[in-house]
A = this chain, B = another copy of it.
């Protein structure tokens, strides 16, 4: 793997767990077995590196979502696909979810950049939700609120892994799968029209 890509990968992990402010270029270079000047050779500044990491993270996130969600035939399949993607990321790349949270924090300069990057996907999801609402296939009123609720519920439950880890409890894959199944049941019931 190219040095540039290695830097992006390690930076994502570090930014996602320790935070951007909590990650120094020195520490990052140490993890890579390099000097920080080599990092600054590939990326002109730290914020440039952060933006590149965000860009790549958003790209992979969208790619994973698109692959599963876009060719879903109804809203429920979209929800199911999103849950699958987010949980897979929570297991395989927990730092990515942490990074998304970090970047969407108010005051972050890249928040705008990230949301504009994701806005296409968000609007598409909202649109298909609105249609489903209008046709009565989904229970609810405001598509935007529904979307936010779904998103925050999924993210919250998925990041429960991290919270548990922070409390010193290592969650098993089995318990994670159970939680995912329960979350799906919960969402199905919540979405089902009366």
Contact = CB atoms under 8 A, between A and B. Distances in A.
B183 A157 contact: no
A106 interface: yes
Nearest to A102: B105
Contacts of A107: 17-19, 22, 166
A185 B194 CA distance: 14
Contact of A162 (B22, B106, B182): B106
A112 B190 contact: no
A99 to B, nearest CB: 12
A157 B152 contact: yes
Interface in A144-183: 145-146, 148-149, 151-153, 155-157, 160, 162-163, 165-168, 179, 182-183
Please tell me how many copies of the chain the complex holds.
Answer: 2
Contacts of A151: 156
A21 interface: yes
Chain A interface size, under 10 / 10 to 19 / 20 to 34 / 35 or more: 35 or more
A111 B169 CA distance: 13
A152 to B, nearest CB: 2
A163 B19 contact: no
Interface in A82-111: 98, 101, 104-108, 111
Contacts of A155: 152, 156
B112 A168 contact: yes
A41 interface: no
Contacts of A117: none
A115 interface: yes
25 contacts: A19-B21, A19-B107, A21-B21, A22-B107, A98-B105, A101-B101, A104-B166, A105-B162, A111-B163, A112-B167, A115-B163, A115-B166, A141-B182, A145-B157, A145-B179, A145-B183, A145-B186, A146-B186, A148-B157, A149-B183, A151-B156, A152-B152, A152-B153, A155-B156, A190-B190
